[in-house]
């Protein structure tokens, strides 16, 4: 199932997105998409509505250096244990919404990632039972101001700006995350090309590690790390991240003040 969140002439709603490419229909879900969703009977063609970020997370947990080649390109080695950090939920934007580059940040990099969407409250989840607590998977861009990251010595400001967490276009519930192709392009030029099979810590291990630290709530996002090929984005660029089995998340880039 593909779960989305839309703005229609009738307001904002969660939907199930059904049908073949170019002929999709959005069926409105009553209340929320967790558990077994029920439907209101209303629907819209996908072409007639606007896709929003597919979930409103209480928190966004991110993994750093979860691909060995990315750790190497950043001048280090991958740590033995997962390294986690938080983005504020105010950084979340949906497909088509502009990534806004701060006037005082340069360079700002894209980081294409597979994102896990938590489906129910959970704590201390063993890796073999991670799937029981996952609603599905989506795509995310862990946008990062590299100069601020280096200046601060920690990552909150560099990765926490408004618009620095594009998410979408929807959530896919019936997906095996173990072997998915991931590609990031900027203005059509391939920057990142990898596969989730190369993650150092797989989804089960990630959920186990994170849930030992904090209680996870329905809708929480876990960004699973980015592969090598990160690079700068500039005013006027268009960034697209494609993950096989999910789709493509595309966002324009603008510099604040323009």
User: Model confidence over 143-184: pLDDT tens digits?
Assistant: 999 999 999 988 999 999 999 999 999 999 999 999 999 999
- Spatial distance between the Cα atoms of 78 and 241, rounded to a whole number of angstroms: 23
Q: What mean pLDDT value characterizes the chain?
A: 95
pTM value? 0.97
31-44: average pLDDT: 94
Nearest Cα to 182, choosing from 253, 114, 255, 86?
A: 114
33-49: average pLDDT: 94
DSSP one-letter string for 5-71: EEEETTEEEEEEEESSTTS-EEEEESS-SSSS--EEEEEEEGGGSEE--S---S-EEEEES-BHHHH
pLDDT of residue 26: 96
pLDDT of residue 234: 97
53-81: average pLDDT: 90
Tokens of 130: 């991670």
pLDDT of residue 74: 77
* pLDDT tier for residue 9 given thresholds of 50, 70 and 90: confident
pLDDT of residue 77: 81
63-90: average pLDDT: 89
196 dihedral zone (left: phi>0; alpha: psi -120 to 50; beta) = alpha
* pLDDT tier for residue 258 given thresholds of 50, 70 and 90: low
């Amino acid at each position: 199932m593909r779960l989305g969140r839309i703005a229609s002439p009738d307001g904002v709603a969660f939907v199930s997105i059904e049908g073949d490419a170019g002929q999709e229909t959005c069926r409105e879900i009553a209340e929320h998409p967790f558990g077994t969703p029920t439907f209101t009977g209303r629907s819209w063609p996908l072409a007639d509505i606007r896709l929003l970020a597919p979930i409103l997370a209480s928190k966004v947990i991110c993994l750093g250096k979860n691909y060995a080649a990315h750790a190497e390109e950043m001048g280090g080695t991958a740590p033995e244990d997962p390294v986690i950090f938080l983005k504020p939920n105010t950084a979340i934007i949906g497909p088509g919404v502009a990534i806004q580059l701060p006037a005082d940040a340069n360079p700002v990099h894209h980081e294409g990632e597979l994102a896990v969407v938590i489906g129910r409250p959970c704590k201390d989840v063993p890796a073999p039972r991670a799937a029981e607590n996952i609603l599905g998977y989506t795509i995310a861009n862990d946008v990062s101001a590299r100069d601020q990251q280096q200046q601060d010595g920690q990552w909150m400001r560099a990765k926490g700006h408004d618009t620095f967490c594009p998410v979408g276009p929807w959530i896919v519930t019936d997906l095996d995350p173990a072997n998915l192709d991931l590609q990031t392009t900027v203005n059509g030029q391939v920057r990142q090309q990898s596969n989730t099979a190369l993650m150092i810590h797989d989804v089960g291990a990630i959920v186990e590690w994170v849930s030992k630290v904090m209680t996870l709530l329905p809708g929480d996002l876990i960004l699973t790390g980015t592969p090598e090929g990160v690079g700068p984005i500039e005013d006027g660029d268009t960034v697209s991240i494609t993950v096989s089995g999910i789709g493509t998340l595309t966002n324009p880039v603008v510099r604040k003040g323009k």
